[in-house]
Structure 1
Amino acid sequence: MPKYFFHVRRSGAFKEDPEGIDLATPELAFEEATAAAREIMAERIRMGDPANGDTFEIMTEDGSLVATVPFRSAVRLE
């Protein structure tokens, strides 16, 4: 099963996910990243923190970019 890494890009800084997660498909990795972004954004809202422009960059073990998931895209604001 392939391993996907959910690296975070925040204000130009890049924070690597050192562990990754085993998932069967890139689509499942996208769904997992979206769910994680939703949880992070919900926690920020509960804490009164600003919703910023963080983005997950989903990559494979060989460093190929599979998808990007802006945290804001995971939350419906209407």
Structure 2
Amino acid sequence: MAIYFFHLRDGETFEEDTVGVELEDVDSARTEAIVAAREMLAEQITLGAPIGNPIFEVCEGDHVVIFKLVFRDILHS
């Protein structure tokens, strides 16, 4: 198990995840990121708010980015 951080970047805006989530592996972190991104997109759409171009920068405990998830890439997957 490792701690994964899901930092959110949208243009010039950056929200740091200071808590993180304990997950089994990188595949679990990717699944968690996809689920969270879909929930966030659904909320934005429901509210009629602009989607922007949000990206999760996912890091392990050492805060090195291990992958990025562009929300728009999961809209049709």
Task: Assess same fold via TM > 0.5.
Answer: yes
Q: TM-score, structure 1 length as denominator?
A: 0.91
1:14 pairs with 2:19: no
Shift of 1:76: 2.0
Amino acid at match of 2:73: S
1:42 corresponding residue in structure 2: 42
1:26 corresponding residue in structure 2: 26
Q: Return 5+ residue gaps in structure 1 as ranges.
A: none
1:49 aligned counterpart, secondary structure? coil
**Could you tell me how far apart the structure 2 residues matched to 1:35 and 1:74 are?**
10
1:72 corresponding residue in structure 2: 72
1:5 corresponding residue in structure 2: 5
Shift of 1:10: 1.3
When the two structures are aligned, how many residues end up with a matched partner? 77
**Could you tell me how far apart the structure 1 residues matched to 2:70 and 2:7 are?**
12
Amino acid at match of 1:65: V
Indicate the RMSD between aligned Cα atoms, in angstroms: 1.3
* Identity fraction in percent: 36
* Moved beyond 2 Å, runs of 4+: none
Shift of 1:74: 2.3
Q: TM-score, structure 2 length as denominator?
A: 0.92
